[in-house]
Amino acid sequence: MKRVEKSGVDMLMQIVSNHYPNQQILHITDCSNDLHDYLIELAKERNYEYDLKYICDDEPGFSKEITYDRCRVQRLDLAAKAYNRHARLYEYAFITIGDDLLSENLEDFLKKIYRLMKNSGIVVFLLEKGGVVEKTIDKDLEDGYFVATSHIDIFKEYDVVNARKMHGWHR
C-alpha cells in the first residue's frame, strides 16, 4: 500500500467544505494507497458519514481497525448494476482505483457514480501519473455530465482530477 504525502492530503482535504454539518463522503478504492486513513480522520473530526467501498478480492486488514461508528466498510463489485443499495446521495466521492480497472469500463463507472452524487457534488480521482485514464479523463467526465473539471498537481505519483455533477446537464 502506497503512502500518500501528508502535505498533499492537507491540500486535498480543502476541497471538502466544513460549512455544512452531516455531509456524506464516499470512497471507492482498490486498496492501493492509504487515503482512507485521512478521510476517516476528516469524517471523525467533522462528524461526517463515510462509506468506504473496496474492490480488492480479500477484505483489507484496515477495515477491522476502523472504530468510527459513522463509517461503513463493504466490498463493491464494479460490474454491479448500481453501486448504491440505499437512497443515499453523496456530496463527495473519492476514487482511488488503478488505471487498469478504471480504463476497462470508465463510461459505465461514471454513469453509476453520477447517480450516487448530490447535485453539484464533487467527484475526486487520484489517477496514476502517465496512465491511460489520465489522458482521457477530461473528455470522459464531460461525456458523463460532470463539469468544471480541474487537475491539481499535489502528489508525486498521482494526478488529482476533480469535477462537479451539475443538475439537469444529462440527456
Q: Number of folded domains in the chain? A: 1
Residue 170 within any structural domain of the chain = no
Give the residue among 138, 130, 74 at the shortest CA–CA distance from 106: 138
Give the residue among 73, 4, 71, 13 at the shortest CA–CA distance from 35: 4
For position 132, what pLDDT does the model report?
Answer: 87
Q: Please report, for the domain that includes residue 102, its CATH number.
A: 3.40.50.150
For position 170, what pLDDT does the model report?
Answer: 55
Alpha-helix runs per DSSP H in 27-164 = 35-46, 99-104, 106-116, 132-143
Give the domain extent around 47.
6-165
Cβ contacts of residue 111 below 8 Å, gap of 6+? 144
Q: Give pTM, 2 decimals.
A: 0.91
For position 63, what pLDDT does the model report?
Answer: 60
For position 64, what pLDDT does the model report?
Answer: 62
For position 81, what pLDDT does the model report?
Answer: 87
Residue 79 within any structural domain of the chain = yes
Mean pLDDT (10-residue bins), the chain, 171 residues: 85 88 91 89 93 82 72 88 83 93 90 92 93 90 92 93 81 53
